[in-house]
C-alpha cells in the first residue's frame, strides 16, 4: 500500500461516494416498515411490519403499474440493446476516417441533450398542428395524429426516442472491444476468402460477446429502474393507462399527494429494488451456467 499509495488516493473519492450515498442511506430504508413521522424520527416511529407493502400489493393499480413498468422495460431492452452493437460493427468496417468520425459525432451528440429538452423536442416534433411528422402526413393526404394523446403510442415514442438519444454513446464500449480483437484473425480470414459478414459473425461477435453479456446483465438488473423524469414529463391524462409506472406512482401517491407518506413510497421503492436484485442474481447465474461472462 505504501509503494502504490497514489492509487489508493485516487480510489478514495469514489469509495467515499459509494459509502456516503449508497450504503449510509440503507439505514433509512427501515422507514418502509414503520409508520414514519418526522417529529418522532426513524427509531421513534411505530413499527408496522409489512403493512405498507401489503397496501401496495392490494392497491387496485398494482397490476397495471407493474405491467406498464415491465412492458416498457422489456420493449426498451429488446429494441435498444442490438442497435449499439450493429452500429459498432458497421463503423468498424468504414475505411473513410472522416466519414466514420462524423457518424460517431452525429450519433454520440444526442446523449448530451437533457431529459427536459428531449421531451420538449418530442412535443414539438409530434405536435398535432405544427409537428413535422403530422405536416408530412398531411402532405400525403392523411389525417393528423395526436401521438402523445393516444396511450397506444406512448411506449414506442418513449423507447425509440431513447434509442436515438443513446445509441451513439453505448456504441463506444463495443468499438473499444472491437479494437482489442487481434488483427491477425481478420488477416487470416481475408486470406481464406471470408466476406465482411462472415468476419463479423465468426470474429467480431465472439470478440465482443463477453462485454455484451455483462452489459445485458446490468440492463436486466435495472428492469424496474426505467427513470422517473422522462415518463413523468411525457404523461398526460390521455396516455396515463400506459405511462403510469412505479416511479411516477411513488411520486404521486407517496410524495405529491395531500398527505405525504414517506413510509409508503419507501416500501414501493424497496420492493422495486429487491426485484431488481433478484433479476440481477438470476440472470448472472444463468449466464454463468451457459459458460458466458458474468459479474461474479
Question: Per-10-residue mean pLDDT for the chain, 296 residues long?
Answer: 92 95 90 89 90 92 93 93 93 90 92 94 92 92 90 94 93 92 91 91 92 91 86 92 92 78 90 92 89 80
CB 203 within 8 A of CB 91: no
The C-alpha atoms of residue 45 and residue 252 are separated, in whole angstroms, by: 23
Distance CA 227, CA 215 (A): 18
Whether residue 211 contacts residue 174, with contact meaning beta carbons closer than 8 Å, is answered with yes
What is the model's pLDDT at position 292?
77
pLDDT at residue 288, as a whole number: 87
pLDDT of residue 37: 86
For residues 29 and 266, is the Cβ–Cβ distance under 8 A?
yes
Conformation bin of residue 193: beta by default, left when phi > 0, alpha when psi is -120 to 50: left
Could you write out the DSSP letters of every residue in 72-128? Answer: HHHHHHHHHSHHHHHHHHHHHT---HHHHHHHHHHHHGGGGS-HHHHHHHHHHHT-T
| pLDDT at residue 295, as a whole number | 81
Closest among 4, 23, 186 to 92, alpha carbons compared: 186
Q: Note the pTM of the prediction, 2 decimals.
A: 0.87
Looking at residue 91, its pLDDT comes to: 92
Class of domain 61-289: mainly alpha
Amino acid at each position: 500500500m505504501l509503494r502504490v499509495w497514489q492509487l489508493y488516493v485516487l480510489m478514495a473519492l469514489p469509495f467515499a461516494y459509494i459509502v456516503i450515498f449508497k450504503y449510509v442511506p440503507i439505514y433509512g430504508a427501515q422507514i418502509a416498515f414503520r409508520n414514519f413521522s418526522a417529529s418522532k424520527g426513524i427509531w421513534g416511529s411505530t413499527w408496522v411490519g409489512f403493512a405498507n407493502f401489503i397496501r401496495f400489493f392490494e392497491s387496485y393499480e398494482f397490476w397495471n403499474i407493474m405491467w406498464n413498468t415491465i412492458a416498457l422495460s422489456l420493449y426498451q431492452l429488446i429494441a435498444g440493446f442490438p442497435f449499439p452493437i450493429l452500429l459498432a460493427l458497421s463503423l468498424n468496417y468504414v475505411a473513410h476516417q472522416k466519414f466514420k468520425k462524423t457518424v460517431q459525432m452525429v450519433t454520440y451528440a444526442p446523449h448530451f441533450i437533457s431529459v427536459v429538452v428531449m421531451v420538449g423536442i418530442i412535443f414539438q416534433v409530434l405536435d398535432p398542428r405544427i409537428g413535422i411528422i403530422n405536416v408530412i402526413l398531411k402532405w400525403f393526404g392523411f389525417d393528423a395524429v395526436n401521438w402523445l394523446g393516444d396511450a397506444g403510442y406512448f411506449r414506442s415514442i418513449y423507447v425509440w426516442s431513447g434509442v436515438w438519444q443513446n445509441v451513439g454513446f453505448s456504441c463506444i464500449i463495443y468499438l473499444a472491444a472491437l479494437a482489442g480483437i487481434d488483427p491477425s484473425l481478420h488477416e487470416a480470414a481475408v486470406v481464406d476468402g471470408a466476406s465482411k459478414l462472415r468476419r463479423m459473425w465468426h470474429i467480431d461477435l465472439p470478440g465482443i460477446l463477453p462485454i455484451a453479456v455483462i452489459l445485458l446483465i446490468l440492463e436486466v438488473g435495472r428492469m424496474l429502474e426505467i427513470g422517473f423524469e422522462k415518463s413523468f414529463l411525457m404523461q398526460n391524462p390521455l396516455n396515463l393507462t400506459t405511462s403510469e409506472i412505479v416511479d411516477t406512482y411513488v411520486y404521486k401517491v407517496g410524495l405529491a399527494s395531500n398527505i405525504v407518506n414517506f413510509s409508503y413510497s419507501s416500501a414501493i421503492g424497496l420492493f422495486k429494488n429487491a426485484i431488481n436484485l433478484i433479476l440481477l442474481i438470476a440472470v448472472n447465474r444463468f449466464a454463468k451456467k451457459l459458460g458466458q461472462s458474468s459479474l461474479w
